[in-house]
Amino acid sequence: MQINELLTNQNTEEAAWRALERSIIYYQGRPVGTVAAYDVSTEALNYDQCFIRDFVSSALIFLLKGRTDIVRNFLEETLKLQPKERQLDAYKPGRGLIPASFKVLCDNGEEYLEADFGEHAIARVTPVDSCLWWIILLRAYAIATKDFSLAYQPEFQNGIRLIMEICLANRFDMYPTLLVPDGACMIDRRMGIYGHPLELQVLFYAALRAAREMLICQGNQDIVAAIDNRLPLLCGHIRQHYWIDINRLNAIYRFKSEEYGKTAVNLFNIYVDSLPYYELDKWLPRKGGYLAGNVGPSQLDTRFFTLGNLMAIISDLATEEQSQAIMTLIEERWDDLVGDMPMKICFPALEDEEYRIVTGCDPKNIPWSYHNAGSWPVLMWMLAAASVKTKRTNLAAKAIEIAQARLGEDEWPEYYDGKKGRLIGKQARKYQTWSITGYLLAKELMANPSYLRLVSFDELPPEAVSRACEFEIRSVEPYIS
Ligand code: GLC
């Protein structure tokens, strides 16, 4: 590396730390979170709030740097915002939910926090991911501080329990996955991800694992039993039904349809004509594979969603073989998935009629922009974590190098547009906190691979998974190694 380049990188990093410092929100004199973006050049809308999902990468960085107080304050304050009583009013947030975001307000000199559960958000979207990220973060805090006593406090035990109750409640469908509305996660706009989108299933899995580690069994036997029951079923279901590689595509291509009863192989009655199978045939590398975006009745969304795939590796939801295959796919399809800015939120974009129908003509989500296959620097930390986990660190190193050539100079945009991610996002905020922390965290994870333990999980006992699969999958060919 040239000396000039080294200096630029050092400057980029220093600028990133300064920008992160400036993003911290104080409440009653204590640091409690970070704003989504500190961009004075444009109207704040809700970017001056602390979003739960956005704060995760800030929190992990703070934990690594020993600034655990901010994370503890955040966990305590957000827990207070969680509704504890059953609400009969449909316009009130359900018991157990954690808000999408919060901000500090002042009344008569008295500061208080106002939460947004989606009732203020554009299109009134529900933040299903917040409560899942909250549990994942609580565990990361316990691991980083080597102190589970916060998680063991009665209020925290109750908070975890309420989240588990809302996730594990009986619903109308009989899938182990979570049925959710559109735009309930990082993609918080209509993008055709209602039903059983990968991102939320993976976060659900990681939250179940984290809750299982933190819940004190006494008094929670019912929830613990429900988690133990759900985990292997969910894991088997995702590994089997969401997996796409060339072998699986071959099987799907020759699927029979309209199968009735217990011996059905094509369980969800997927019609191959609904899939872009010729494009996939061309796009799928010989060895790579990935988890599909969504699976439901006669529905297989074959778009590649980055957060779900990377978190599936990190949380050990994907098998070792699948994890390697996902990384191989990223390597082989680098231009499509990473290009000039790591990395695409999903691929490919919805275009033409599909864009119009699925997004509702959303001008922010035009093809190759924002949620519709834009490039999001925050995803870099997950790429780094997945690279460390699969020992494919050359991929993250290359991605970081690409990003640091531009991110600082471009003032940390929220996202980039274009097929290769060369254009600063049309409506992207500058000084977007999770773009800053996505970069910093990726560097930290690469320098200290042991930090991965904050967010990763070990394998579920294989007997548990195979038992569950026998029970659920019946006569389908085994895709679980
Ligand atoms: C956008 C993103 C969402 C993020 C929020 C704040 O709405 O889609 O994921 O949490 O901005 O940065």
Question: What's the CA-to-centroid distance between 371 and ligand 1, angstroms?
Answer: 10
- Is 186 touching ligand 1 by the criterion CB < 6 Å? yes
Q: What is the pLDDT of residue 6?
A: 66
Measured CA to CA, the distance from residue 60 to residue 409 in angstroms comes to 24
- Average the pLDDT over 461-472 and give the result: 60
- Is 164 touching ligand 1 by the criterion CB < 6 Å? no
The sheet with strand 50-51 has its strands ordered as 50-51, 101-107, 110-116
Return the half-sphere exposure (C-beta side, CA atoms, 13 A cut-off) of residue 471. 16
Q: What is the pLDDT of residue 40?
A: 84
Q: What is the pLDDT of residue 477?
A: 37
Q: What is the pLDDT of residue 459?
A: 84
Q: Which atom belonging to ligand 1 lies closest to the Cα atom of 186? A: 9
Segment among 2-11, 59-68, 97-106, 365-374 with least mean pLDDT: 2-11
Number of neighbouring beta carbons within 10 Å of residue 437: 30
The closest residue, in CA terms, to atom 3 on ligand 1 is 186
Residue 476 banded pLDDT, cuts 50, 70, 90: very low
Question: What's the CA-to-centroid distance between 117 and ligand 1, angstroms?
Answer: 13
Q: What is the pLDDT of residue 7?
A: 64
Is residue 100 a contact partner of residue 114, using CB atoms and an 8 Å limit?
Answer: no
- Name the residue of 38, 47, 49, 51 whose CB sits within 8 Å of the most ligand 1 atoms, as the mutation to test its pocket: 51
Is residue 128 a contact partner of residue 137, using CB atoms and an 8 Å limit?
Answer: no
The closest residue, in CA terms, to atom 9 on ligand 1 is 186
The mean pLDDT value of the chain amounts to 94
Return the half-sphere exposure (C-beta side, CA atoms, 13 A cut-off) of residue 148. 10
Q: From start to end of 339-391, where are the E strands?
A: 346-347
- pTM of the complete model: 0.95
- Average the pLDDT over 414-437 and give the result: 97
- Average the pLDDT over 184-197 and give the result: 97
Q: Which atom belonging to ligand 1 lies closest to the Cα atom of 429? A: 12
Return the half-sphere exposure (C-beta side, CA atoms, 13 A cut-off) of residue 113. 26
Question: What's the CA-to-centroid distance between 367 and ligand 1, angstroms?
Answer: 18
Between strands 289-296 and 24-27, the pairing is unpaired
Comparing 284 with 466, the larger pLDDT belongs to 284
- Average the pLDDT over 94-120 and give the result: 96
DSSP 400-466: HHHHHTTTTTTT--S-EESTTS-EEPTTPPSSBHHHHHHHHHHHHHHH-GGGGGGT--PPPPHHHHH
Residue 470 banded pLDDT, cuts 50, 70, 90: low
Residue 44 banded pLDDT, cuts 50, 70, 90: confident
Question: What's the CA-to-centroid distance between 396 and ligand 1, angstroms?
Answer: 24
Percentage of the chain beyond pLDDT 90 is 88
- Is 184 touching ligand 1 by the criterion CB < 6 Å? no
Q: Which atom belonging to ligand 1 lies closest to the Cα atom of 433? A: 12
- Average the pLDDT over 168-181 and give the result: 94
- Average the pLDDT over 147-163 and give the result: 97
Question: What's the CA-to-centroid distance between 245 and ligand 1, angstroms?
Answer: 31
- Is 39 touching ligand 1 by the criterion CB < 6 Å? no
* Res. 372: pLDDT tops 70: yes
For the stretch 204-230, pLDDT in tens is: 999 999 999 999 999 999 999 999 999
- Is 54 touching ligand 1 by the criterion CB < 6 Å? yes
Measured CA to CA, the distance from residue 277 to residue 238 in angstroms comes to 21
- Is 53 touching ligand 1 by the criterion CB < 6 Å? yes
Question: What's the CA-to-centroid distance between 476 and ligand 1, angstroms?
Answer: 39
Q: What is the pLDDT of residue 481?
A: 30
- Average the pLDDT over 78-101 and give the result: 94
Nearest to 138 by CA among 82, 74, 65: 74
Question: What's the CA-to-centroid distance between 189 and ligand 1, angstroms?
Answer: 9
- Is 51 touching ligand 1 by the criterion CB < 6 Å? yes
- Name the residue of 47, 188, 359 whose CB sits within 8 Å of the most ligand 1 atoms, as the mutation to test its pocket: 188
For the stretch 256-297, pLDDT in tens is: 999 999 999 999 999 999 999 999 999 999 999 999 999 999
For the stretch 319-366, pLDDT in tens is: 999 999 999 999 999 999 999 999 999 999 999 999 999 999 999 999
The closest residue, in CA terms, to atom 6 on ligand 1 is 36
Segment among 34-48, 52-66, 169-183, 335-349 with least mean pLDDT: 34-48
